[in-house]
Amino acid sequence: MKYAFTSKIELLEKLKLRHITVSKEILEKFWTEDDKGSLYNQRFIITLNDTIQWQAGSVSLGNDTAYITVSTERMKQIKVDLLDTVNVELERDFSEYGFEVPIEFEEVLNQDADGKKRFDSLTLGKRRATIYLVIQVKSSDKRIEKSIAILENLKRAPIGKETMRHILGKDLA
């Protein structure tokens, strides 16, 4: 299901980020009995002004609303400024991580049973953050190198107490 509405680009002063606001009524349209967690924290595929699209999550804002961040880069792409009104289209994102897993990372996982086991034991948020680290690397060869390094770091981390610092190769003996 897709749902379209309009929203202003606003500034969340406390966090210095730009966002669109989503009402409780809109969020309820996507909520199912199978969902876990908060009504206000859901994952979506967002389209603004029929031009740009990305995957992101809503975050509770209070007063029966949630927000979805909009980067300044995306605002430039659609030529809007703070307080401009945009056309929003939301579609629920049921993908496991909220973005496509790089094939290089999948292949490294497939070749390292211990690394895969450790990766799969991480919380969803840590798995998502780990994959995001790999996505940021542009070259395929470098994504492979990054994937191997991450899994090696993860295997050296204390079991059940892994942190992002461990995954990044910090705080390891």
Residue with tokens 């910090």: 170
Give the global pTM: 0.71
- Amino acid 97 reads Y
Please, what sign has the CA dihedral across residues 104, 108, 111, 116?
negative
Segment 91-101 mean pLDDT: 86
Give residue-wise pLDDT tens across range 118-151. Answer: 999 999 889 989 999 999 999 999 999 999 999 9
Name the token pair of 141.
Answer: 């060869």
Q: Which helix (H) or strand (E) holds 104?
A: helix 103-111
**pLDDT single digits (tens) 70-85:** 999 999 999 999 999 9
Find the distance separating the first CA and the last CA of the chain, reported in whole Å: 49
C-alpha closest to that of 133 among 167, 159, 109: 167
Give the three-state DSSP class for 48: strand
What's the whole-number average pLDDT of the chain?
93
Contact 158, 165 (CB under 8 A): no
Q: Is the pLDDT assigned to residue 19 strictly greater than 90?
A: yes
10 in Cβ contact with 19 (< 8 Å): yes
Determine the average pLDDT of the residues in 12-16.
93
Percentage of the chain with pLDDT > 70?
Answer: 99
Mean pLDDT to the nearest integer, 64-69: 97
Tokens 């995954």 sit at which residue? Answer: 167
Better-scored residue on pLDDT, 124 or 98 = 124
pLDDT in tens, 26-35: 999 999 877 7
Torsion angle (degrees, nearest 10) of CA 135, 140, 145, 147? 40
> Would you state the pLDDT for residue 36?
77
Cα 132 off chain centre by:
8
How much of the chain, in percent, has pLDDT values that exceed 90? 83
pLDDT tens per residue, range 82-92 = 999 999 999 99
Q: Is the pLDDT reported for residue 8 higher than 90? A: yes
The three-class DSSP label of residue 167 is helix
